[in-house]
A and B are shown apart, each in its own frame.
Chain A
Amino acid sequence: MIKLEKRPMPSRTLSMATPLIAVVITMIAGGLLFAALGKNPFEAIRTIFWDPVLGEYAFYYRPQLLVKAAPLVLIAIGLSLGFKAGIWNIGAEGQYIIGAICGAGVGLAFYPTESILIFPLMILAGALGGWAWAMIPALLKVKFGTNEILVSLMLVYVAEQLLASMSLGLLKNPEGHGFPGSRNLNDYPSATSWINEAAGLHWGMAFAFIAVIFAYVLLNRHILGFNIRLTGEAPRAARFSGVNPTRLILFCLGTSGALAGMAGLFEVSGPSGQISIDFNVGYGFTAIIVAFLGRLHPVGILLAGLLMALTYIGGEIAQGNLGLPSAAIQVFQGMLLFFLLALDLLTNYRVKFAAKGAA
């Protein structure tokens, strides 16, 4: 029988190094996968990891990297707070969509008035939208003890239906010749999140950095962050310490919802430009991977967000240049999380091949 035994003192160095080791193993296993598909594995790995940063056309890809990383980091930071406390918001994708709808809706309501106040108002509306969507699983959990994983996940599909109905109805561009989708917010100077579109800079990146710093200070310097970590590590000790579990659930789900909503708003008013049936591309789900890849640590999440963006951009280049199927790229990304979790387990536990225990 195989048994897992908790290590009394897991190595700190190893626990810091696991993300790097996981990346290396993913490269090896991914290389084998690409080779099995008949592609040159070295070229494929180089295309994914090297070309976007230091390749010939890197000047074009580098801003793209930030554009992809910003929403991932912003959402993952919010999720990591809850994950640390054992509160599992799996529905960031839904909160992201609702945030985008609310934020874009506010912006479109003012069209074509120009004012410096419109964009801050949109950010607020986006955050509130995401927060409100996350409050549904939060309130159901504290009032009726429902499982936040299921409720938040199912609300993603509700949000997707709402998005479709919005882009076909209420928010549809009246001058859009009947095509689904809203006006393009990039054509509305007061409502765009681009700071400098040519350089690929938008407000989402600024907010992602602010969120990283905010989360770092919260977790390391503030009693609320301490309570979040304590609840995740030892719920009973947290109650003994005086942590109010209801307030903690509302805070964690609310914050992650607000950040996801803001990410949605920045995306819809910048890189995506308009509310359309499928403007969301799964950032809310990928951010879960980013949060864990970054060890739920704010700085780690920043790096993991960049790495994930790299595999996206690199994956696209590999699809275009080498003809790799997109499914193979997704498998590649999945491997990354798989190896990370497996290594995590081995850092904290050792495997024992033991005989059946005594009666």
Chain B
Amino acid sequence: MTAPLLSISGLTKAYPGVVANDNVSFDIGESEVHALLGENGAGKSTLVKMIYGLVKPDSGTMTWKGQPFTPAEPKAARAAGVAMVFQHFSLFDALKVSENVALGMEDPPPMGDLARRIRKVSETYGLPLDPNRTVGDLSAGERQRVEIIRCLLQDPKLLIMDEPTSVLTPQEVDILFKTLNKLKEEGTSILYISHKLEEIRALCDHATILRLGKNVGECVPAETSARDMAEMMVGDTLQTPTRTTEKTGEVVLDVSGLSLEPATPFGTKLKNIHFTVRAGEILGIGGVAGNGQDELLAALSGETLTWKDAVKVNGKEVANLGPNARRRMGILAAPEERLGHAAAPDMSLTENALLTGAIREKLTGKGFVNWSGTTAFAEKIIKDFDVRTPGPHVAARALSGGNLQKFVIGREVLQRPEVLIVNQPTWGVDAAAAAAIRQALLDLAANGAAIVVISQDLDELMEISDRFGALNEGRLSDIRPAAGLTIDEIGLMMGGAHGMEVAQVGEDA
């Protein structure tokens, strides 16, 4: 390897109260796929924002091909040859692919030329995409291709990808990796941000591991075990959740023929969903985001009422009962969106404990709130689930995502649910806390609760589910025992690679 393409030395960036990056140094060579590995809040995003010119470092230097590199804004970084695919797409649903690409360009060519170039790039790199389709009709994987092609049209020397696989099915991940390998062969360097260790082992040449803003180690992923990398990330030995196999009991939750029109124009329609969950059993529901997960949770929690015999618990019809009536029966839920849905951002943790705990924890008498009892309940959640916060008086908004997630899950688990529905229980939570949450769910099941875990993290679902199904465009696949499922089979259950030949196979399966 010759001189590095980008050399980072002693980069430091502090925000009030937190040092996001503390003296971080590493090199990215030409044609190198470099992984940036770390838990949420480790400082990965801040670091790449400095490279992309969105954030100015407090101190430290960057060198680009031997020259000092201080991009004042993303335009300057792009001019040097840095391109970035963000985790959240910035695309307009109502516009065509080519129009969206043109919007991101400094000096867009005529539409016809652009469409031809998009087609050419998409064929060269194996990223099938029709420039004339409307973005609103594309799957998450296809939208990501739009973003990638938008970057490739700039002929970047360094492509930064922020958690690119979180919205992809396994088949789509394969396609993406082929593209990235081809780019690497052609001399493009890639900075790949992820916390998915197996992907990094398969793809990356080098990895830099960040923890709490510091560079805590480097490794060659192919020669390092996933467990070792995870422990470097966490700085601690990891506890793998253990499950004590219990015999499952009677059917508790019985969903049959659940169909639901979406409440909003951008919602997903649920189509004829059937499943049952027995006492002591965890049903994992996978699928790419936006395929009906939110709608399914709302129908089960009682936020959305369904009028037919669609949802039964212990043989009793509950489809027309609201959230509080269902809580009385022991049906609890934890939605995905923490701020604004599972918790009220500006209210204290005590008040947020009351939000779902009022009924089962008997926190009100004749309508009057027992605040001391509520505070005690909030403190119990904080203690039992290791929520890091000064106390229950703190506003939910002030907690980090992972800590609030622990609070939200803990709040439901401690109410001794008979049926618990959780959506993305460990999203944005560090590995140690995620393990604790999974363990809590397993313990709950061992004590006889029926649990539905909706998640996009397949590793998580395989780890804790007894049976597995996948949502795809509002339909639920057949439910199959989780043990022995291969990643290919799961991918096909999730709908295969959207917009590809493989998708046809997926529908037959």
Give A residues with C-beta under 8 Å from B: 8-9, 221-224, 226, 229-230, 233-234, 236-242, 244, 355, 358-359
Contact = CB atoms under 8 A, between A and B. Distances in A.
A239 B302 CA distance: 9
B324 A242 contact: yes
B301 interface: yes
A8 B74 contact: no
Given A221-B368, A221-B369, A240-B323, A233 B358 contact: no
Interface in B323-359: 323-324, 327, 333, 335, 337, 339-347, 351, 354-356, 358
A237 B343 contact: yes
B355 A237 contact: yes
Contact of B344 (A8, A9, A237, A359): A237
Given A241-B323, A241-B356, A242-B327, A234 B368 contact: no
A344 to B, nearest CB: 14
A28 B228 CA distance: 66
Given A223-B358, A223-B364, A234 B398 contact: no
B224 to A, nearest CB: 34
B272 interface: no
B3 interface: no
B283 to A, nearest CB: 21
Contacts of A355: 73
B369 A222 contact: yes
22 contacts: A8-B397, A221-B371, A222-B369, A223-B354, A223-B358, A233-B344, A233-B346, A234-B343, A234-B347, A236-B337, A236-B340, A237-B340, A237-B343, A238-B344, A240-B301, A240-B333, A240-B342, A240-B356, A241-B323, A242-B323, A358-B52, A359-B74
Interface string B363-378: 0100111010000000
Contacts of B355: 230, 237, 240-241
A8 B398 contact: yes
Contact of A234 (B74, B104, B341): B341
Interface in B466-491: none
Contacts of B339: 234
Q: Which of A224, A226, A230, A238 has the most CB of B within 10 A?
A: A226
Contact of B367 (A222, A233, A238, A240): A222
A226 B345 contact: no
A223 B322 contact: no
A236 B302 CA distance: 13
Interface string B301-321: 111000000000000000000
A221 B366 CA distance: 11
A102 B341 CA distance: 43
B245 interface: no
Interface residues of B, number: 40
Interface of B: 52-54, 73-74, 90, 103-104, 301-303, 322-324, 327, 333, 335, 337, 339-347, 351, 354-356, 358, 364, 367-369, 371, 395, 397-398
Contacts of B354: 223, 226
Contact of A358 (B54, B302, B368): B54
A240 B324 CA distance: 9
A9 B103 contact: no
A-B interface, 6 closest residue pairs, ranked by CB to CB distance from nearest: A242-B324, A242-B323, A234-B344, A358-B74, A241-B355, A236-B341
A355 B335 CA distance: 36
Nearest to A217: B368
Given A233-B345, A234-B344, A242-B327, 14 more contacts: A221-B371, A222-B369, A223-B367, A233-B346, A234-B341, A234-B347, A236-B337, A237-B343, A240-B341, A241-B356, A241-B358, A358-B52, A358-B53, A359-B103
B305 to A, nearest CB: 11
Contacts of B367: 222-224
A242 B322 contact: yes
A244 B303 CA distance: 10
B362 to A, nearest CB: 12
A314 B327 CA distance: 56
Contacts of B73: 355, 358
A230 B398 contact: no
Nearest to B363: A223
B429 to A, nearest CB: 20
A254 to B, nearest CB: 17
A244 B302 CA distance: 12
Contacts of B340: 234, 236-237
A223 B361 CA distance: 14
A218 B348 CA distance: 18
Contacts of B333: 240
Contacts of A237: 340-344, 355
B102 to A, nearest CB: 11
B397 A226 contact: no
A334 B347 CA distance: 31
Nearest to A234: B344
B395 A9 contact: yes
A224 B333 CA distance: 22
Contacts of A239: 303, 323
Contacts of A244: 322
B251 to A, nearest CB: 26
A223 B341 contact: no
A229 B341 contact: no
Contacts of B368: 221-223
B342 to A, nearest CB: 7
B347 A233 contact: yes
A242 B104 CA distance: 43
Contacts of A242: 302, 322-324, 327
A244 B322 CA distance: 9
A41 to B, nearest CB: 39
Nearest to A236: B341
A40 B398 CA distance: 49
B366 to A, nearest CB: 9
Contacts of A241: 323, 355-356, 358
Q: Which of A9, A221, A236 has the most CB of B within 10 A?
A: A236
Nearest to B355: A241
A166 B387 CA distance: 64
A75 B259 CA distance: 46
Contact of B303 (A224, A226, A234, A240): A240
A236 B324 CA distance: 15
B335 to A, nearest CB: 6
A34 to B, nearest CB: 39
Nearest to A356: B73
B14 to A, nearest CB: 16
